[in-house]
């Protein structure tokens, strides 16, 4: 089965149009994030994911996506051809979601200035309530008015000043970002709209790259590895193809049986897991000055769709073994990572070696210190309306080295060669070599490159 048999390419204007952005000071989105951090939701990743999805799509003006079938496919990973008349998972979880919201607003959220309800049709309604608050002195208040056009007619907010204390995650709370990111990536869904450090932040060392990835008016996704998939492939000795991953065939084979092994495999197949290095990379990326006030979302690989790679920008972390979406772009890549499940080894294939280059690059040992390798690829998205950044290593150390090269080293000497006449980066690939020293990398160096 070809990739496009799963979801055909649509080059129409509607297919490549970008959604509007969620305002950085939007109290509705801040409320959603507070709710999923509460005790009523923190232990229920599926309900959190359900709430995040319907609120995100509503606030972006994409209510047409909030159908029972689409929620079943996107949130609950049902196959695209499943019948809602035979599978009522969305309706069941919708009832639970409404109950949890009522419990939140009767308990820890009783003093919230806004309320969220999920009526039939799954489009959330945001309504303001009359609360008695002591009005702060004018000199201490920092307020903004919500535009009435930002809400559907049946959910318009009454004109109200929003104090700085009610605004989205403040700079003083930046220390909680890593914890929140780790929780929400595990749940599989995170809209990341965080403030930078409280001090003034200068442009990052890879400023040119980040400005193209986190551009005004576009949607950008940071996609973490699916660690659960990686474990399942290691156990079974068979790697999933992208079509099997997208339609749920690979994960769906692990049905719950009577044996302890089948029970464990079934449990792992239902988990959205990621690893600590990916969480660290995400934390740094959302704090980049170029990402501030932009629409940046974090997804576990299981929650991404092919449409996301056609309509926006994306950062794909990890190789095709743990992030199958990388395989979409491999046909146009010169440096391709290949994993051998029999030998439990990975290597990077150089499809067209130049003088002085090797055909294959792989770890030079198994006991640190040893040399390991990573690839950074910057390529157009599927409709050439945005950009895809791939950071993959033979090991997690290699992936870390790739991100550190962009965060901390000085890639500008290479970027100067990769710029076009307009000063923008052209598509490129970089092959990096680093040293694995007790599962940590030292500074990486470029040993091969391609500029297109």
- CA pair distance 52, 36, nearest whole angstrom: 8
- CA pair distance 449, 416, nearest whole angstrom: 13
Decide if 205 is inside a domain. Answer: no
Decide if 267 is inside a domain. Answer: no
**300 and 436 share a domain?**
yes
Q: What is the pLDDT of residue 185?
A: 57
Q: What is the pLDDT of residue 161?
A: 30
Decide if 119 is inside a domain. Answer: yes
**290 and 421 share a domain?**
yes
Structure token pair of residue 442: 């030292």
Decide if 253 is inside a domain. Answer: no
Decide if 233 is inside a domain. Answer: no
DSSP bridge pairs for 115: 127
Q: What is the pLDDT of residue 180?
A: 52
pLDDT tens digits for the chain (452 residues)? 332 222 333 333 233 233 345 666 788 988 998 898 887 787 677 888 899 889 988 998 888 999 999 998 888 888 888 888 878 888 888 888 988 898 899 888 888 989 999 888 899 999 887 543 333 444 333 333 333 333 333 333 332 333 333 333 333 344 444 555 555 555 555 554 444 343 344 567 789 999 999 988 889 999 999 988 988 998 888 999 999 998 888 988 988 788 888 888 888 888 778 887 888 889 889 888 899 888 898 888 988 888 899 988 999 999 999 999 999 999 999 999 998 887 778 999 999 999 999 999 999 887 778 889 999 999 999 999 999 999 999 988 888 889 988 987 678 889 989 999 999 999 999 999 988 776 566 678 899 999 99
**282 and 414 share a domain?**
yes
- CA pair distance 73, 186, nearest whole angstrom: 18
Give every CB contact of residue 345 below 8 A, 6+ residues apart in sequence.
339, 362, 363
**303 and 426 share a domain?**
yes
Q: What is the pLDDT of residue 365?
A: 83
Decide if 177 is inside a domain. Answer: no
Decide if 196 is inside a domain. Answer: no
Q: Which domain range does residue 419 map to?
A: 222-226+272-451
The dihedrals phi and psi of 13, each to the nearest 5 degrees, come to -60, -35
Q: What is the pLDDT of residue 211?
A: 93
Q: What is the pLDDT of residue 383?
A: 94
Helix (H) or strand (E) holding 20: none
**310 and 425 share a domain?**
yes
Helix (H) or strand (E) holding 426: none
Q: What is the pLDDT of residue 206?
A: 87
Q: How many residues does the chain have?
A: 452
Q: What share of the chain is helix, strand, coil (3-state, %, to 5)?
A: 40, 20, 45
Q: What is the pLDDT of residue 210?
A: 94
Decide if 180 is inside a domain. Answer: no
Q: How many domains is the chain built from?
A: 2
**45 and 162 share a domain?**
yes
């Amino acid at each position: 089965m070809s990739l496009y048999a799963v979801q055909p390419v649509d080059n129409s204007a509607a297919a490549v149009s970008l959604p509007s952005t969620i305002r950085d000071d939007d109290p509705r989105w801040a409320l959603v994030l507070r709710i999923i951090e509460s005790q009523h939701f923190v232990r229920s990743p599926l309900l959190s994911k359900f709430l995040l999805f319907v609120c995100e799509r509503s606030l972006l003006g994409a209510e047409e996506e909030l159908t029972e079938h689409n929620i079943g496919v996107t949130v609950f990973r049902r196959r695209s051809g499943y019948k809602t008349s035979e599978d009522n998972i969305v309706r069941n979880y919708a009832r639970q979601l409404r109950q949890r919201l009522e419990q939140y607003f009767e308990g820890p959220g009783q003093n919230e200035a806004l309320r969220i309800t999920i009526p039939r049709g799954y489009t959330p309604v945001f309504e303001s309530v009359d609360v008695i608050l002591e009005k702060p002195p004018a000199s201490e208040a920092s307020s903004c008015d919500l535009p009435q056009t930002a809400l559907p007619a049946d959910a318009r907010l009454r004109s109200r000043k929003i104090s700085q204390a009610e605004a989205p995650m403040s700079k003083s709370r930046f220390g909680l970002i890593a914890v929140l990111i780790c929780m929400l990536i595990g749940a599989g869904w995170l809209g990341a709209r965080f403030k930078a450090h409280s001090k003034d932040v200068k442009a990052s060392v890879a400023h040119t790259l980040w400005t193209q990835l986190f551009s005004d008016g576009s949607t950008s996704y940071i996609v973490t590895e699916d660690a659960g998939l990686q474990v399942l492939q290691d156990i079974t000795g068979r790697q999933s193809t992208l079509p099997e991953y997208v339609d749920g065939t690979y994960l769906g084979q692990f049905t719950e049986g009577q044996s302890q092994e089948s029970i464990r495999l079934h449990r792992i197949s239902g988990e959205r897991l990621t690893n600590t290095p990916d969480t660290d990379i995400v934390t740094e990326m959302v704090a980049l000055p170029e990402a501030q006030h932009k629409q940046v979302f974090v997804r576990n690989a299981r929650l991404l769709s092919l449409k996301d790679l056609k309509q926006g920008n994306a950062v794909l972390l990890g190789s095709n073994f743990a992030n199958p979406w990388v395989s979409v772009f491999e046909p146009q890549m010169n440096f391709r990572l290949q994993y051998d499940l029999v030998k439990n080894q990975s290597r990077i294939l150089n499809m067209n070696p130049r003088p002085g280059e090797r055909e294959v690059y792989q770890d030079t040992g198994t006991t640190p210190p040893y040399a390991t390798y990573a690839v950074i690829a910057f390529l157009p998205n599927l409709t050439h309306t945005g950009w895809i950044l791939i950071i993959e290593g033979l090991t997690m150390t290699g992936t870390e080295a790739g991100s550190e090269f962009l965060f901390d080293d000085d890639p500008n000497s290479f970027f100067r060669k990769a710029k076009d006449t307009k000063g923008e980066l052209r598509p490129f690939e970089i092959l990096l070599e680093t040293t694995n020293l007790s599962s940590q990398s030292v500074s990486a160096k470029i040993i091969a490159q391609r500029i297109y």
